[in-house]
Amino acid sequence: MTAGVVTAGDVTVRADVAGLMARMAAGDQAAVFCLVERHGTRLAGAVRAMARRRGVEWLHREDLDDLVVDAAMALLDVAEAWDPAGGALPWVWARHRLEAVVDRFVGQHHDSLDAARAATLERLLPEAPPPGPGCEPDVLDLLAHLGSGSELATVVRDALAQVGSHRDQRLLLEVRLQESLGDRSPAATVAPRYGMQPAAVRQQVRRMKHRLRRLAASEARFAPLADLPLVA
Amino acid sequence: MTGAADLQGARARHPAASARVGDRARLERALADRLAAAGLAHPQVAAAAIAARASAGLSVEGWARRLEVPVPAVLAVEGGEVGASELPAPLRSLLGPAQG
């Protein structure tokens, strides 16, 4: 598309979006399903760009799908206030709402580093010391190690890799570990390690467990997951 | 087979169809959470009913005609006032017994 030129496709999209937003504004929540079905790709593009600006270059497919749903729900909240005559599509007009959705996912509010600043920082920062006896092992490394001797650990490792980013895999494992140690607020314990809010941790953990349960129900290889406390 | 049925069949066979089903399930869950937060008595039933109508691409009135139930009955279900055991028969068979 050429900048400044409105194509017939744009007009069709705008008309369709305007109709759906009008239905949402009138209280017809079924329209949000149509919005995602017909314009989910555009919503995904918007949230992906926002995530990229926050330093998240790559989003797991499941995370992207969740973000699109959260973004659509955010648009449902503001449908009444959106005016098609304003010219901007809802996900552009409501960018602050959508950025808040992405911020909750990213878990922190910061300026993203550009490549040059990141490279400079990397040169300046000392290398991380090797883990000593007092250091906690990384949960994913531990799981990989267990996987070499246990079929179930391999299944868990492979399942986690299918349903979430490395960060979200760690979140789930660390939260469940804290729970097993009797921590009554595991999300609050784990959140600072990732620069996240406890609520964001709880949401991601809930989503990871749901994805694992769905995987267990859909693929025979992952069926044993259903009986694990990890997904309870 | 009607044009609409042709289109529905083609959509179901499309490689991206499974992703759309996944999105619908996610949306239904998110909507149920939202309705629960709003204090509806039966948020999951309501969300499932709204999702089913969205899949059919019908207005409340059109959906009521299709199901042969009164419009207020559809509105009551979507408004979270009706539990799974009290659903009108056409909706009950559509949504299944799992909705609570």
B23/A contact by beta carbon, under 8 A? yes
* Residue among A28, A33, A210 whose CB faces B27 most closely: A33
Complex ipTM tops 0.85? no
Cβ-based contacts of B53 with chain A (< 8 Å): 30
Locus of tokens 């290889």: A221
Both structure tokens of A214: 């769905």
Name the residue of chain B whose CA is nearest to A69's CA: B27
What is the secondary structure of A165-229 as a DSSP string? -HHHHHHHHHHHHHHHTT-S-HHHHHGGGGT--HHHHHHHHHHHHHHHHHHHHH-GGGGGGGGSG
Residue A21, pLDDT > 90, answer: yes
pLDDT of residue A28: 94
- The whole-number pLDDT of residue A229 equals 80
Inspect the interface and report whether the beta carbons of B26 and A66 lie closer than 8 Å.
yes
Nearest CA in chain A to B22: A65
pLDDT in tens, A44-73: 999 999 999 988 888 888 889 999 999 999
Residue A3: pLDDT over 50: no
pLDDT of residue A204: 85
Residue A17 binned pLDDT confidence (cut-offs 50, 70, 90): very high
* A218 contact B CB<8A: no
Query: Residue A215 corresponds to which tokens in the numbers above?
Result: 């995987």
Chain B interface test: which of A16, A64, A69, A104 (most B C-beta within 10 Å): A69
Closest by Cβ to A65, choosing from B26, B50, B55: B26
pLDDT-above-70 percentage for chain A:
81
pLDDT at B6 > cutoff 70: no
Quick check: B57 pLDDT over 80?
A: yes
List of residues 6+ apart from A24 with CB closer than 8 A: A31, A32, A35, A75, A76, A79
Q: Does A57 touch chain B (CB under 8 A)?
A: no
pLDDT band at A138, cuts 50/70/90? confident
Average pLDDT, chain B: 82
Per CB-CB distance under 8 Å, the chain A contacts of B59 are 28
Q: What is the pLDDT of residues A76-109, one digit of tens each?
A: 999 999 998 888 899 999 999 999 999 888 874 4
Mean pLDDT score of chain A: 81
For residue B19, the tally of other CB atoms under 10 A from its CB is 13
pLDDT score for A57:
82
Give me the residues of B, 24-83, that contact A with CB < 8 A: 24, 26-27, 29-31, 34, 50-51, 53-55, 57, 59-60, 78
Structure confidence at residue B98 (pLDDT): 52
pLDDT band at A167 (very low <50, low <70, confident <90, very high): confident
- Identify the residue with better confidence: A207 or B36: B36
Interchain CB contacts (distance < 8 Å): A and B = 44
- What pLDDT, on the 0 to 100 scale, is given for residue A99? 93
**pLDDT-derived band of residue B13, with 50, 70 and 90 as boundaries?**
very low
pLDDT band, very low/low/confident/very high, at A133 (cuts 50, 70, 90): very low
Residue A4 pLDDT > 70? no
- What is the sign of the dihedral through the CA atoms of A157, A161, A163 and A168? positive
Pick the more confident residue, A78 or A134.
A78
